[in-house]
Amino acid sequence: MASARGPHSGETLLTRERPSLLRNPEGAVRRARPYIVTVMVPVVVLAVGSLAIEYGFQVSAETKRVLHAVEAAALAGLLLEPLLGLLLARERAEVLRSRWFHFALAGAYAATVGLLYAAKVTDAAVWVRRAAQVAIVLSLVVRLVELNQFLATLRLPPALLFVGSFLTLIVVGTGLLLLPVATAPGEPATSFTDALFTATSGVCVTGLVVVDTGTHWAPLGRYVILALIQLGGLGLMTFGSVFALLLWRGMRVRESVMMQEVLTHDLLSEVGRIIVFILITTVCVEAAGAVLLAGLWDHTAQGAAVALSDRIQYSVFHSISAFCNAGFSLYADNLMSYRSTWQVNLVFPLLIISGGIGFMVLYNGARLMRYGLLSWGQALLAKRRLTLHSKFALVTTAVLLVGGTGLVFVLETFPGREDAWRATATTVDAAAGPEEAAAAGAEAPPMGRTWTERLSGAWFLATTARTAGYNTTDTSRLAPPTKFLTVVLMFIGASPGSTGGGIKTVTVAVIVCGIWSSLRGRQEPQAFRRRLERGIVERALTVMAVGVVWVATVSMILSAWGFAEGARCPFLDVLFETTSAFGTVGLSTGATPLLNTFGRILIVVTMFIGRVGPLTLFVAMHGRAQRLHYTYATENVAIL
């Protein structure tokens, strides 16, 4: 057989290999990758473990010296790993381009150490250790982003990655909240169920609590909760894509496709632009909210002026919590002490509505402003109009806000009976009896005596019930019809693609269109001169049906076995609490602290399912539906 080798066969083979290297900059170290990964796993564990022990526990000086040595060794491993990959690679320029941040971080750390010792700075060793810890954290963050890109190349279902990202946040948040320094001095130690409940409530932006956020948690615990709210509100995958855009100025095709399914957007080319828009919008709205809330905490309801540092902390915490529709507050009575201020009745609702309307609606509105108004109609029609999704979200939101405000006002102004405003979720006092325990505080209307107070309270309740969770009214003393109306609003929730939960406003709008078209004998639903596919209506009905079944089932189980001994909670309050968890709202009638361990775990599962969505969870567990290549015969059944 004739040989195909020539005088330049070696060069030809190398030339043929180079295109694959350009597509995969680390292709040259493929053989060494298993060994590098094997070594890096304990390095990462040591880095994370040493930082957690040093800052999470009270340790001795000798232990700190050991931890600092471990951190130095871990940092050396984190900085040397990219250098080893560079030395083994053939296309080193591509490795430098793809992992430039690691080399820049190593250079910045070396320069910082050199400057500190050259300038003979006091306590230079302390500053060097702090610089090392900052470098470790930044290196770990970038590696998480690289892991996100690696998972995108595995062709896993986006629903599975979406669910997995929330589970990861819950696990990490639970571990951080269990650290002793996360609990305030003098408070009882945080149990596992309390940490798990709080972490899940933060990640799922619910706001239900079993311990007081402002007093039980130390500053570290409150920072962890705030980080969980921010990451859970926007999604860990969104933050990973943001870092990918910042570090590498783009995303891979598979990563873009994955984010396209998460964002439910039609155009793949706009995914990167939408992610940047989400980041900019979040930062700007939350910053503006913090500035507007800065003067709130000097209100005389708290009895004294608040220090500047505390005012900044309160403003940032509540602004992020409101925009992410979380409902966490640093005050035991939530916002009831500030119910008469303009910030509570205007700034908080604006933050809640901005976060709950959906980023795709905001993006559509921004694009309409840019191409429809500022370009004087010169852009394409698709860029100068509101999409059907945006119209559904805006109209349904307006109807829920206006209608909810009016109904709450009427129901609370004319309750129908004198004992309507009793707190019903209580612990029975054996000495006083259930009647006396339930009748406490039943004489005063919870929303105030004047029409102005009731109107402002109704407006805030109609706004916050749509997954925000803040309250200016004692929700445990609302009239039963108002409680049920709040249950309906919480079940509907916010709009798709937002920081809120519930079955979503667009889902309800699609169902209403389907019902109206069926009543009028139309084959296909129509709205705003557009036609809806029957599959969308069926999916919307499925979401609502699954939600109703889950809420009803959990409510019955909680009512039977979910409360501690001696707790007294009517079924309406149980339904209220379950719907609040499913809709990731956070409003409570006072039943959550009365739950036993089983009840708390059940609420944790309900919060998680409400945040990721029942259909998303089902797809993540069972994968994509298989297409059948056959059909059965049709047969009619009687409906009425």
Full DSSP string of 485-546: HHHHHHHH-S-TTSS--SS-HHHHHHHHHHHHHHHTT-SS-EETTEE--HHHHHHHHHHHHH
pLDDT digits 0-9 by tens, 214-247: 899 999 999 999 999 998 888 766 766 666 666 5
Instruction: Please count the other Cβ atoms lying within 10 Å of the Cβ belonging to residue 625.
Output: 7
pLDDT band at 260 (very low <50, low <70, confident <90, very high): low
In a 3-state reduction of DSSP, which class is residue 567?
strand
CA atoms within 13 A on the CB side of 490: 30
Q: List Cβ neighbours of 304 (8 Å cut-off, separation of 6 or more).
A: none
pLDDT digits 0-9 by tens, 73-98: 888 888 888 888 777 777 777 777 77
Mean pLDDT over the full length of the chain:
81
Residue of 376 and 330 predicted with greater confidence: 330
- Domain-by-domain residue ranges, the chain? 24-152
State percent of the chain over pLDDT 90: 32
* pLDDT(170) > 60: yes
CA atoms within 13 A on the CB side of 296: 27
Residue of 238 and 343 predicted with greater confidence: 343
* pLDDT(12) > 50: no
Mean of pLDDT values over 474-484: 90
Residue 44, both tokens: 């990462």
Mean of pLDDT values over 109-135: 87
* pLDDT(409) > 90: yes
Lowest mean pLDDT among 229-233, 357-361, 414-418: 414-418
- pLDDT value of residue 85: 77
* pLDDT(616) > 80: no
What letter does residue 422 receive in the DSSP assignment? -
- pLDDT value of residue 383: 61
pLDDT band at 384 (very low <50, low <70, confident <90, very high): low
* pLDDT(23) > 50: no
pLDDT band at 418 (very low <50, low <70, confident <90, very high): low
